[in-house]
Structure 1
Amino acid sequence: MDILFYLATASLILFMLLATYDGFYLHIWKYRLFDREESLFEHKTHTVRAILFPLIVWLLFINETSFSFFLTGIALVVIDIIVLGIDAYHEKESRSFMGGLPKWEYIVHLFANAFHFSAIILVLALRLDISEGAMLFVDSIAVSQANTLFQFVSVNVIPGATILALLHFILMLKKPKNIWLNYRSKVTCC
């Protein structure tokens, strides 16, 4: 079982690194998707997914005892998958200003989503027990060094993920967007 915790931890860390690079540096800092008419819908789908992520982590990864929280987390994962599909469907139009999505960024998206959903699948493997044709919710997972590491990483991704979600949201509002653009214009690198 420890190997599942280590794999989930690695997947979560790799997802957060790629999501921060893609969601903050590329989408917000470099390409300013929130400030382009053709990319506004993409920014909105990213905002929804950014809001869902810390909730999914809290409900599925951290809260181990509540079956209702677990089901709510599963429902949010299903919504996340639907929003991902909608986002991917509209990606071509959203990036028309730059001649389409660059291949290397497409690869970043593939790996980020692979790590995102790998972490979720591994957590489901830890939280569900299938035996004798029945699926049971595991409400108590044995404490181990691997589980402790996973819980530590999960708890510590919540603040950064929440900040990124809030940033996505406030950049849809006119005044905060103008403040951001004003300060951003003063930075000449990157």
Structure 2
Amino acid sequence: MEFAFITTALLLIAFGVLGIFDGVYLHLIKYRLYNHPESRMEHLTHTIRMIFFPPILYFLYMGNDNNSFIVGLVLVLADIIVLGLDAYLEGDSRKFMGGLPRWEYIIHLFVNGFHFAAVAVFLVIKVDLSGGHFDIRNNLSDLPGYSVMLFVAKNFIPGSIVFAALHVLGLFKSGAAWLNAINDRLLSRKTISEQVK
């Protein structure tokens, strides 16, 4: 059981690191998908998925009752549906940049693979099918390794809320203008530091 909790924690960390690179750096800073009319729907799907993630962490991984678990599962299923829509839209959405780069497509595979692998491993812990019946384990806190996974889940919530809020800003003209101003400032500082070197 301890190995499964630590595996879940590591998969969440891998998802988080790649997700920040993909969802924040590539989508919001480098490509600024929120600025391109053809990418607006893709940006919306990313925003919805970003909004889903903190409650998935809270209800699925941190919840201690059956209702929390069911809410978490419903959010995961909704996330899968939105992911399917996102994948369907990406071909048309990235025409402004000549299509989705192959390396970014590979990152998307790994990001989503880590995310759903973490969910799958946790379901193995949470659902007990022994004895021929379906039972949800709710008292996980006494099991070895749970505290590691709980620590990771709790600490991901604040950052994931901030990243979701940044995506929401990109849905509105004033928010997109603010993101552009921040990005321009970041990029100009990078250019200055490169010149100094």
Fold match by TM threshold 0.5 = yes
- Segments of structure 1 that go 5 or more residues without pairing to the other structure are none
- Residue type at the aligned position of 1:28: L
- Residue type at the aligned position of 2:65: S
Alignment of 1:167-182 (within 5 A): 167-182=166-181
Alignment of 1:17-96 (within 5 A): 17-63=17-63, 65-96=64-95
The answer on whether the counterparts of 2:169 and 2:179 sit within 8 Å (CA) in structure 1 is no
Query: Kindly, what percent of the aligned residue pairs are identical?
Result: 40
Bigger mean CA offset, 42-51 vs 133-142: 133-142
The answer on whether the counterparts of 2:141 and 2:147 sit within 8 Å (CA) in structure 1 is no
Any idea what SS the aligned residue of 1:172 has? coil
Any idea what SS the aligned residue of 1:140 has? coil
The 1:142/1:155 distance shift into structure 2, 3 A limit, reads closer
- Residue type at the aligned position of 2:24: F
**Structure 2-normalised TM-score?**
0.92
Q: Partner residue of 2:98?
A: 99
For 1:59-112, what per-residue CA distance to the aligned partner results, in whole angstroms no more than 9, with x for missing partners? 01111x211111011011110000000000111000001111111000100000
Task: Report the Cα offset of residue 164 of structure 1.
Answer: 0.4
Task: Report the Cα offset of residue 165 of structure 1.
Answer: 0.5
Q: Partner residue of 1:147?
A: 146
Task: Report the Cα offset of residue 145 of structure 1.
Answer: 4.8
How far apart, CA to CA, are the structure 2 residues paired with 1:75 and 1:102?
A: 32
The 1:52/1:98 distance shift into structure 2, 3 A limit, reads same
Alignment of 1:121-136 (within 5 A): 121-136=120-135
Any idea what SS the aligned residue of 1:132 has? helix
Q: Partner residue of 1:2?
A: 2
How far apart, CA to CA, are the structure 1 residues paired with 2:85 and 2:175?
A: 26
Q: Partner residue of 1:157?
A: 156
Bigger mean CA offset, 174-183 vs 140-149: 140-149
- Residue type at the aligned position of 1:44: L
How far apart, CA to CA, are the structure 1 residues paired with 2:143 and 2:133?
A: 26
- Segments of structure 2 that go 5 or more residues without pairing to the other structure are 192-197
Q: How many residues align?
A: 189
**Structure 1-normalised TM-score?**
0.96
How far apart, CA to CA, are the structure 1 residues paired with 2:180 and 2:172?
A: 12
